[in-house]
Amino acid sequence: MTVCEAPGKVYLFGEHAVVYGEPAVPAAIERRATVTAEPRSDDHVRVEAEDLSLNGFTVEYAGGTGDRPDVDVPAPLVEAAMGYVDAAVRQARDAADAPDAGFDITVESDIPLGAGLGSSAAVVVAGIDAATRALGEPLDRRELADRAYHAEYEVQDGQASRADTFCSTMGGAVRIEGDDCEPIEAPNLPFVVGFDGGAGDTGELVAGVGELREEYGFAADTVESIGDVVRTGEKLLADAVSEADPSPELLAELGELMDFNHGLLSALGVSARSLDAMVWAARDAGAHGAKLTGAGGGGCIVALDASDASETALSFTHGCEEAFRAELATEGVRVVE
């Protein structure tokens, strides 16, 4: 039996603009998906995802994806647990050259689903890592990240960037620009996450930004401006490379850039009333800055705040279902046992 766990992420800067070749900086957070893989003597795959909903579910199917049965569980759970685990198993079989390998898989996760925190990427990364290790064929991190990206790409019909899977694999802060992905040094940033309990439709939101960009030159400029915010933020992080704990000046400057980034995303139409309410609640409580994270339209915001003030304020904010502190996960995917 092999157990691996992989972190979720927030976008410090750059979502949406990354689709148009601008850089983005996601950062892994200490909320993890845990996948257990136990090889079987037949080619069946049995997936147990007890804590992904109040009901949870267990499904067993034979052979490859074509034999996967329709299962009567809510759609996001099918995606999160079935589609992604299935894609992870196929990547692991391919990597280990073991097309008929069967597994008993268990998925547990404390990352809110489909809310911009990279829950599916964490399941895929931990799943491929656990399954390849269980077959005695562990992958190096670059190959693991690449295979996890392809698994997500397949499940999401081509709508996936490398950001979530690379960040979840490597941990810490990373820089994504097109297909170039690199870990970058970052101090231990004090994140607070607010979750409105919902999720935006990533495909629709990405398409909406695309239309605005086609229609208005200033929308295209806005996308480029997000790229400028990212470049400025990266430089701040690079200059602070020797700081284990971020200085008040660094937090103030990063927070200001996060506020700016949120404003630009808002201008592109991807914020929402609930997200704006949470962003303002965190700012009013004294956060250094706050922005939506991920595709937007609903889901999560991330604030920069070392005190408990934003978390408390968010928990009393209308529309905020869950608020939690989220330390930077310096370690990416790891073996638990």
Q: Which stretch binds ligand PMV (CB under 6 A): 10-18, 31-39, 65-73, 99-107?
A: 10-18
What is the number of other CB atoms lying within 10 angstroms of the CB of residue 105? 25
Site for ligand PMV in 151-190 (CB under 6 A): 160-161, 163-164
Rounded to a whole number of angstroms, the minimum distance from the CB of residue 112 to ligand PMV is 11
With respect to ligand PMV, which residue has the nearer C-beta, 116 or 246? 116
Per CB under 6 A, does 295 bind ligand PMV? yes
With respect to ligand PMV, which residue has the nearer C-beta, 15 or 146? 15
Rounded to a whole number of angstroms, the minimum distance from the CB of residue 218 to ligand PMV is 20
Per CB under 6 A, does 317 bind ligand PMV? no
Q: Are 120 and 79 in contact (CB under 8 A)?
A: yes
x/- mask, ligand PMV, residues 118-137, rule CB under 6 A, reads: x-------------------
With respect to ligand PMV, which residue has the nearer C-beta, 118 or 246? 118
Rounded to a whole number of angstroms, the minimum distance from the CB of residue 55 to ligand PMV is 25
Tell me which of 7, 102, 116, 332 binds ligand PMV, using CB under 6 A: 116
Nearest to 282 by CA among 260, 251, 259, 313: 313
Longest Cα–Cα distance of the chain, Å, equals 59
Q: d(Cα 52, Cα 120) in Å, to the nearest integer?
A: 12
Per CB under 6 A, does 29 bind ligand PMV? no
With respect to ligand PMV, which residue has the nearer C-beta, 133 or 162? 162
Rounded to a whole number of angstroms, the minimum distance from the CB of residue 18 to ligand PMV is 5
Element counts in the chain: helices (H) and strands (E): 10, 12
Which residues make Cβ contacts (< 8 Å) with residue 295, sequence separation at least 6? Answer: 15, 16, 116, 200, 201, 202, 205, 206, 270
Q: Which stretch binds ligand PMV (CB under 6 A): 15-23, 59-67, 98-106, 218-226?
A: 15-23
Site for ligand PMV in 215-274 (CB under 6 A): none
Nearest to 224 by CA among 22, 25, 19: 22
Q: Out of 164, 196, 259, 305, pick the active-site residue.
A: 164
Residue closest to ligand PMV, measured at CB: 294
Q: In angstroms, what is the C-alpha Rg of the chain? A: 19
With CB under 6 A as the rule, give the number of residues binding ligand PMV.
14
Q: d(Cα 32, Cα 332) in Å, to the nearest integer?
A: 10
- 8-state DSSP, 107: E
CA dihedral for 263, 268, 273, 275, sign (positive or negative): negative
Rounded to a whole number of angstroms, the minimum distance from the CB of residue 57 to ligand PMV is 23
Q: Are 302 and 117 in contact (CB under 8 A)?
A: no
Tell me which of 15, 22, 104, 196 binds ligand PMV, using CB under 6 A: 15
Which residues make Cβ contacts (< 8 Å) with residue 290, sequence separation at least 6? Answer: 255, 258, 259, 262, 278, 279, 280, 282, 283, 301, 302, 303, 304, 310
Angle between helix 84-95 and 141-155 (nearest 10): 140
Tell me which of 16, 90, 147, 262 binds ligand PMV, using CB under 6 A: 16
Active site residue 164: yes
Residues labelled catalytic:
164
- The residue ranges that bind ligand PMV (CB under 6 A) are 15-16, 18-19, 116, 118, 160-161, 163-164, 202, 206, 294-295
